[in-house]
């Protein structure tokens, strides 16, 4: 059985790690280089860095942050946020990222996914899908969760996979930062309908939430941010717990 991955995520704004609730109420969470080292040493399988301050100058600042972190950790690194072109993606890959994550730009221009996959290979491309439930339908949102695309989430995930995405990073805006658990229903629907890895994101608050998402969906990884940043859950202890619960993880 394939082992499940535990991924730590750092949202980066102006060179600092920040975290919010449902994409709002943003607050400082610490130095990204220090947190990256802590998470890598604690046993995270991968680190995701997301730039939430897009713009030409911020892209350069973020790339420098990626480079510093890549030089100091020994686990895979994914970087994303504000990627609009192959050039933007190349900047982060050259800085040391192993994979890049593209979100809003892919919704506006789906062929960007195939272009990135052709250039860098599907395994290097994650399509991040921010989703919220509107009138009993899960809908894709863009622009940091501010704009509804009117795309149905499962249909968009299937299309992203067809175009060459190597994985889907699925974030439930409904649960993000609430520590109430992952959105099992949409995570199960997406992971059941695509043949690429799905990373569950949004809502982790206790160890049982990781167990639940792994047991009740086909996701390959679970991502969390603030509970790791503030030491509410230790990654190594989480993995030991999951192992005892017969969920295959890398110890």
CATH of the domain at 84: 3.20.20.70
Residue at 219 is within a domain: yes
User: How many distinct structural domains can be found in the chain?
Assistant: 1
Residue at 251 is within a domain: no
Residue at 78 is within a domain: yes
| pLDDT tens, position by position, 146-182 | 888 989 999 999 999 999 999 999 999 999 888 999 9
**Which H or E element spans position 69?**
helix 56-70
List the beta bridge partners of residue 142.
147
Residue at 38 is within a domain: yes
Residue at 168 is within a domain: yes
pLDDT at 23: 47
The CA–CA distances, whole Å, from 168 to 25, 113, 130, 165 equal: 26, 12, 10, 7
Look up tokens 């420098």; give the residue: 64
Stretches where the chain sits below pLDDT 70 are 1, 19-29, 54-57
Q: What percentage of the chain's residues is helix, strand, coil (to nearest 5)?
A: 40, 30, 30
pLDDT at 42: 95
Catalytic residues: 11, 130
Residue 15 in tokens:
């060179």
Residue at 234 is within a domain: yes
Residue at 20 is within a domain: yes
Residue at 53 is within a domain: yes
Domain boundaries, position 69: 5-244
User: Residue 204's closest CA among 170, 175, 167?
Assistant: 175
| pLDDT tens, position by position, 59-79 | 888 999 999 999 999 999 999
pTM of this prediction exceeds 0.85: yes
Buried b (16+ CB within 10 A) or exposed e, 80-116: bbbbbeeebbebbbebbbbbbbbbbbbbeebebbbbb
């Amino acid at each position: 059985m394939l082992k499940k991955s535990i991924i730590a995520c750092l949202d980066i704004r102006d060179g600092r790690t920040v975290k919010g609730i449902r994409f709002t109420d943003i607050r400082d969470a610490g130095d990204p280089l220090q947190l990256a080292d802590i998470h890598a040493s604690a046993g995270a399988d991968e680190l995701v860095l997301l730039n939430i301050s897009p713009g030409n100058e911020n892209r350069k600042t973020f790339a420098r942050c990626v480079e510093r972190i890549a030089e100091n950790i020994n686990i895979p690194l994914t970087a994303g946020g504000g990627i609009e072109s192959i050039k933007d993606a190349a900047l982060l890959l050259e800085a040391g990222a192993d994979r890049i994550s593209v979100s809003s730009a892919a919704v506006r221009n789906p062929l960007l996914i195939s272009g990135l996959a052709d250039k860098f290979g599907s395994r290097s491309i994650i399509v991040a899908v921010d989703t919220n439930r509107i009138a009993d339908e899960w809908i894709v949102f863009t622009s940091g969760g501010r704009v509804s695309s009117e795309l149905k989430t499962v249909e968009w995930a299937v299309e992203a996979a067809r175009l060459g995405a190597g994985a889907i990073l699925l974030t439930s805006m409904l649960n993000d930062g609430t520590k109430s658990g992952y959105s099992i229903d949409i995570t199960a629907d997406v992971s059941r309908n695509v043949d690429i890895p799905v990373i569950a994101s949004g809502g982790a608050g206790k160890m049982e939430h990781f167990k639940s998402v792994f047991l009740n969906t086909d996701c390959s990884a679970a991502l969390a941010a603030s509970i790791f940043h503030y030491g509410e859950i230790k990654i190594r202890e989480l993995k030991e717990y999951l192992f005892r619960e017969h969920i295959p993880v890398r110890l």
